[in-house]
């Protein structure tokens, strides 16, 4: 989940300092979440949802999809274009992105 939240933050153009402030958490806590050292609560996922203007279910769906890619040994860190396209596809499929 942490990797997904980091990728969404970057995809939507937020720096970690900005996102932490919008979520009302410390930058160090945000870093721990993005590095999978801490798990986000449902309340925090709802805050992400509001900040990014996407559904919590979309965040979870994307996390599951990216986790599946990791398990199939796809190199996510070197395939940013593919990740971006996956994010766009899921957002569009869930009606959260205009054509």
Beta carbons within 10 angstroms of residue 77's beta carbon? 8
17-22 — which CB contacts under 8 Å span 24+ positions?
19/51, 22/47, 22/51
Domains of the chain and CATH, by start: 2-93 (1.10.260.40)
Listed in order, strand segments (DSSP E) in the chain are none
CB atoms within 10 A of CB 97: 14
The answer to whether residue 22 scores a pLDDT higher than 60 is: yes
Q: Match 């999809």 to its residue by tokens.
A: 65
> Would you state the structure tokens that stand for residue 26, as one six-digit string?
């410390």
- Interval 44-91: pLDDT, tens: 999 999 999 989 998 998 888 877 766 655 555 555 556 666 777 777
């Amino acid at each position: 989940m942490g990797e997904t939240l980091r990728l969404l933050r970057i995809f939507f153009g937020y720096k970690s300092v900005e996102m932490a402030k919008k979520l009302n958490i410390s930058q160090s806590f945000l870093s721990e979440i993005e590095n999978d050292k801490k798990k986000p609560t449902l309340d925090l996922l709802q805050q992400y949802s509001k900040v990014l203007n996407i559904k919590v279910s979309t965040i979870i769906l994307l996390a599951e999809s990216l986790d599946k890619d990791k398990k199939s040994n796809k190199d996510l860190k070197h395939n940013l274009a593919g990740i971006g396209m996956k994010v766009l596809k899921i957002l569009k499929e869930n009606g959260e992105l205009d054509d």
